[in-house]
Amino acid sequence: MLRALLTGGLIFALWAGATAEELRLVQFSDMHSGGPHFWLEALKEATQQGLALKPQAILLTGDHGDNSLDKTEFDARIMLDMQRWRKALQGYQGEVFITPGNDDVGHNYQTQSSDLKAQWHAFQETFGERNYLNELGNGLSPSKLGGMRWISLNSQIFSPLNKTPEAPEQARQTFEWLRQTLGDSKQPVVILCHIAPSWDLYVGKPGWKVEYLRELAQLLGDYPGKVIFVCGHMHRNHVQAMRPARPIPLLTGGALATKYGYQANWRDYRWQVSDQGVERVDYTLHYIQHPEWTIDYRLDPDRIGSFLDRLRDDRDFFRQYLCDIYGHYEKWQQKAEDPEQRRDVLEQFWVDPDATERR
C-alpha cells in the first residue's frame, strides 16, 4: 500500500493560536446510476466503507443519474436513480451536502426550467428535509458544521455547453444569490459544485464560460473569509486553485462510475478546521477493486502553491499524481511521460480567467 508516500514532505503548522478540530468527511461523486458505466457493487462497497469511518458529513458532488439513454423516460428514471442514495445512506445520521450534475437533467448540460423542476423533485423525494437546494439547484445548507457555511451551486448553468436561452438570466440570479448569501461575513465557506470553475484537461477547455470565471473570481476576491471548493464531473482526482486576493483550493474527486476506463474510486477527508476555516487537508483515495492502491495526500490551503512546487520538483510525486488523476487508467504511465501533459497539468493548476481566454 502507498498510504505514507505523499505526506512526508508536506506537513505544515496550523494557523498560530487557532484551536483546531478535525472534520471527517466522505466524498462520493459521479455515480451515473442507470447509465452504461454504472456499477452497483461500487456504490455498495464505497458507501459501506465510507460510513464505517463515521464521517460527520457526506459530500455528494453530482451526476447521480445518467441522461445518455432514452430522454422521454428520464424524469421517471432520475427519480428512481436518486433513490439509490436514500437506500445506500439509510441510517446515516450525519450531515449530507449535495449538488446536482449535468447528468441529473434530461438534456445534458441544459438548464431549461422543466428539466430543473424534475431534478428538484428527485432531490426532494430522495433527501426530504435534508434537501436545501432551490429549483435552480443552488442552496445554503442550514448546517454550521466546523463553523463554516456550506453552499451548493448548480454549475452547469455556467457551462459553455449550456445553450438554454434562459441560462444568462439564471447565471445572473445565481451570482446575485451568492453575493447576498456571502454578504459581508468573514465566516469560512465551503462551496460544492459539480463542474469545477477551472480548466478541464479532458476536453482541453474551461469548464465554465470565461466571463463567469471572471465574475466568480471577482466576487470571491471581495469576500474576506476563507473559501474552499469540492467538485466532481471530470472523473479525475485534481488539485487546482483560484487566486483572487487569496488562494482558493479546488478539490475535484474521482468517480464511482467506470467511464473512460478509470477505476472506480472515492475520497475520505480529514480537515483541520479553526475559526479561520480549513487549515489543513488530508485526503485518501480508495479504489473499490484495489485496496493496495489506497493512497494519502496532504495540502495546506493557505500555501497551496507548495503542492504545485512539489509537482514540479518531485518526479515520483508527479507520476503518482498523474496515476491518480486518471484513476489508474491503463495508459497513465504514457501520460505521465508526455511533456505536453506535464505542461498542461502545471500550467492549469492556477485558474486565471484572463490566461484561459488567451488559449
- For residue 114, the domain's CATH number is 3.60.21.10
User: How far apart (Å, rounded) are the C-alpha atoms in residues 193 and 277?
Assistant: 19
pLDDT per position as a tens digit, 47-64 = 999 999 999 999 999 999
Confidence grade of residue 199 (pLDDT, cut at 50, 70, 90): confident
Residue 173 lies in a domain: yes
Residue 12 lies in a domain: no
pLDDT value of position 70: 78
pLDDT value of position 14: 40
What is the domain range of residue 276?
21-358
Angle at CA of residue 107, ends 102 and 141, nearest 5°: 40
Residue 209 lies in a domain: yes
Distances (CA, A) of 232 to 194, 206, 317, 330: 5, 14, 22, 21
Given the DSSP bridges, would you call strands 238-242 and 248-252 parallel, antiparallel or unpaired?
antiparallel
Residue 65 lies in a domain: yes
Asked if 152 and 189 touch (Cβ cutoff 8 Å), the reply is: no
pLDDT per position as a tens digit, 83-131 = 999 999 999 999 999 999 999 999 999 999 999 999 999 999 999 999 9
How far is C-alpha 141 from the chain's CA centre?
16
3-state SS record for the chain: CECCCCCCCCCCCCCCCCCCEEEEEEEECCCCCCCCCCCHHHHHHHHHHHHHCCCCEEEECCCCCCCCCCHHHHHHHHHHHHHHHHHHCCCCCCEEEECCCHHHCCCCCCCCHHHHHHHHHHHHHHHHHHCCCCCCCCEECCCCHHHCEEEEECHHHHCCCCCCCCHHHHHHHHHHHHHHHHCCCCCCEEEEECCCCCEECCCCEECCCHHHHHHHHHHHHCCCCCEEEEECCCCCCEEEEECCCCCEEEEECCCCCCHHHCCCEEEEEEEEEECCEEEEEEEEEEECCCHHHCEEEEECHHHCHHHHHHHHHCHHHHHHHHHHHCCCCCCHHHHHCCHHHHHHHHHCCEECHHHHHHC
User: Of the ranges 11-15, 44-48, 213-217, which one carries the lowest mean pLDDT score?
Assistant: 11-15
pLDDT at 9 over 50: no
pTM, 2 dp: 0.94
Q: Which residues of 26-43 are buried (b: 16+ CB within 10 A; e: fewer)?
A: bbbbbbbbbbebbbeebb
Distances (CA, A) of 240 to 5, 84, 266, 285, 347: 20, 31, 18, 17, 10
pLDDT value of position 17: 44
Say which residue the cell 495546506 belongs to: 300
Find all residues with CB under 8 Å of 331, minimum gap 6, and list them: none
Which cell numbers hold the place of 255? 468517480
User: How far apart (Å, rounded) are the C-alpha atoms in residues 275 and 204?
Assistant: 38
User: How far apart (Å, rounded) are the C-alpha atoms in residues 157 and 71?
Assistant: 20
pLDDT at 11 over 50: no
pLDDT per position as a tens digit, 149-186 = 999 999 999 999 999 999 999 999 999 999 999 998 99
Per the structure, the count of domains in the chain is 1
Residue 5 lies in a domain: no
| Residues 227-245, mean pLDDT to the nearest whole number | 93
Distances (CA, A) of 159 to 179, 213, 234: 20, 10, 13
Find all residues with CB under 8 Å of 174, minimum gap 6, and list them: 136, 138, 153, 154, 157
User: How far apart (Å, rounded) are the C-alpha atoms in residues 359 and 355?
Assistant: 7
Residue 6 lies in a domain: no
pLDDT at 354 over 80: no
Longest dimension (CA), the chain: 58
Closest Cα to residue 75, out of 38, 34, 37? 34
Q: Percentage of the chain surpassing pLDDT 70? A: 93
